[in-house]
């Protein structure tokens, strides 16, 4: 596997103003979202939901890559195609979430470290055989009283870089996702401070471990006030703070930044991405894209409710959100009725 292949894949994932679709919820997370709507929490229902997504007409117009979960990459469509093959046939690059989750960090109450490095080399080889061309790993950083600690930032950045190096060795493009959570009542300024520190440490580790910046993508949070913050800043202020933070921390060699949505309302996430691209796109060294899960899937899941009769309407809702976000990449998103 050459460096050029990694570079080509990383660029292809964000080419044509498209973004990524995160459909890599672990069973626990997927079941939680199903439970809220009274959908059975079974492997069959999860497969049905993923089939609805992968076969949605027009999905490939706005989505360059889709991130699968381990269970999903082993499942097939009704037509008998493995999901990774169905995506590739549609022109969407298949990817895979390879972390095994955020676990309590010893000696640091309220903080986690993401696990999954043991045996990762072998798992990556298997996923590559199944058709995956990129991978994803999420480190989680909480803001709170005395949080995050330096230790939490360091261990998560270190793990992200070890994962990224292993991915590139296996020919898979790493999506590096250090997520600063929205939970809490912290201000936009505090989120900016923490996100800047986390990204600085992450890129220092990526450099220390020899990760090829041109052959990776960054999946960060937007810089936002906490969900319970008394002041909820404007779209404009969020766009400015987010881009300022990225310009201070993300090397120009990285081809793309694809945001997570983190629990933002779907339309607000689109509006914020749109504002960043309207104001800054022409001056930025990297593409500003999206890698949303909830902000793309939730309206469709609400429409589906686990009923076969609702598949078409749910697919329309899904594709509508992907189109809205592609428009936001161009700075052409219009507020929806």
Q: Cβ closer to ligand 5MM: 7 or 153?
A: 153
The distance of closest approach from Cβ of residue 13 to ligand 5MM in the complex, given in angstroms and rounded to an integer, is 14
The distance of closest approach from Cβ of residue 3 to ligand 5MM in the complex, given in angstroms and rounded to an integer, is 26
Q: Residue 100: phi, psi to the nearest 5?
A: -110, 20
The distance of closest approach from Cβ of residue 155 to ligand 5MM in the complex, given in angstroms and rounded to an integer, is 18
Sorted by sequence, the CB contacts under 8 Å of residue 58 that are 6+ apart come out as 319, 323
Per-residue contact string for residues 283-302; x = within reach of ligand 5MM by CB under 6 A:
---------xxxx-------
- Enumerate residues 133-172 that contact ligand 5MM by CB under 6 A: 138
Q: What is the DSSP string of 7-67?
A: HHHHHHHTGGG-EEEE----HHHHHHHHHHTT---SHHHHHHHHHHHHT-TTGGGTEEEEE
The window from 158-166, 182-190, 260-268, 300-308 that contacts ligand 5MM (CB under 6 A) reads 260-268
Q: Does 25 bind ligand 5MM (CB under 6 A)?
A: yes
* Total residues interacting with ligand 5MM, rule: CB under 6 A: 15
Q: Which residues share a beta bridge with 113?
A: 103
| Count of CB atoms situated within 10 Å of the CB of 3 | 11
Q: Which of 179, 219, 240, 275 is catalytic?
A: 219
177 is catalytic: yes
Distance between alpha carbon 183 and the CA centroid of its chain, in Å? 18
- Enumerate residues 300-329 that contact ligand 5MM by CB under 6 A: none
Q: Does 111 bind ligand 5MM (CB under 6 A)?
A: no
Of 53, 157, 241, 260, which lies in the binding site for ligand 5MM, with binding defined by CB under 6 A? 260
Q: Does 93 bind ligand 5MM (CB under 6 A)?
A: no
CA dist 319 → 48, 66, 76, 260 (Å):
17, 13, 21, 18
Q: Distance between CA atoms of 284 and 282, rounded to whole angstroms?
A: 6
Residues tagged active-site: 177, 219
């Amino acid at each position: 596997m050459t460096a050029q292949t990694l570079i080509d894949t990383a660029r292809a994932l964000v080419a044509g103003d498209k973004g990524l679709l995160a459909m890599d919820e672990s069973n626990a997370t997927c079941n939680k979202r199903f439970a809220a709507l009274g959908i059975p929490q079974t492997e069959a229902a999860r497969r049905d939901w993923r089939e609805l997504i992968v076969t949605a007409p027009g999905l490939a117009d706005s989505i360059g890559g889709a991130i699968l979960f381990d269970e999903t990459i082993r499942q097939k469509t009704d037509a008998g195609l493995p999901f990774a093959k169905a995506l590739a046939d549609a022109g969407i690059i298949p990817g895979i979430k390879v972390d095994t989750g955020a676990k309590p960090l010893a000696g640091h109450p309220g903080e986690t470290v993401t696990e999954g490095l043991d045996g990762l080399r072998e798992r990556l080889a298997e996923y590559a055989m199944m058709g995956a061309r990129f991978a994803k790993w999420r480190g989680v950083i909480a803001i709170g009283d005395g949080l995050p600690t330096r230790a939490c930032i360091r261990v998560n950045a270190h793990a992200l870089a070890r994962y990224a190096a292993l991915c590139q060795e296996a020919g898979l493009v790493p999506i590096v996702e250090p997520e600063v959570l929205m939970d809490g009542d912290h201000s936009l300024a505090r989120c900016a401070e923490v996100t800047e520190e986390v990204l600085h440490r992450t890129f220092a580790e990526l450099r220390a471990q020899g990760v090829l910046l041109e052959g990776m993508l960054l999946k960060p949070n937007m810089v936002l006030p906490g969900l319970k913050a008394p002041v909820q800043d404007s779209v404009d202020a969020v766009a400015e703070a987010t881009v300022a933070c990225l310009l201070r921390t993300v090397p120009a060699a990285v081809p793309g930044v694809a945001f997570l949505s983190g629990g933002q309302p779907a339309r607000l996430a689109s509006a914020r991405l749109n504002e960043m691209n309207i104001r800054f796109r022409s001056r930025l060294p990297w593409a500003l894209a999206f890698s949303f899960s909830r902000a793309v899937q939730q309206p469709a899941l609400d429409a589906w409710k686990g009923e076969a009769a609702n598949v078409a309407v749910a697919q329309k809702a899904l594709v509508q959100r992907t189109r809205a976000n592609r428009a936001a990449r161009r700075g052409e998103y219009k507020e929806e009725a």
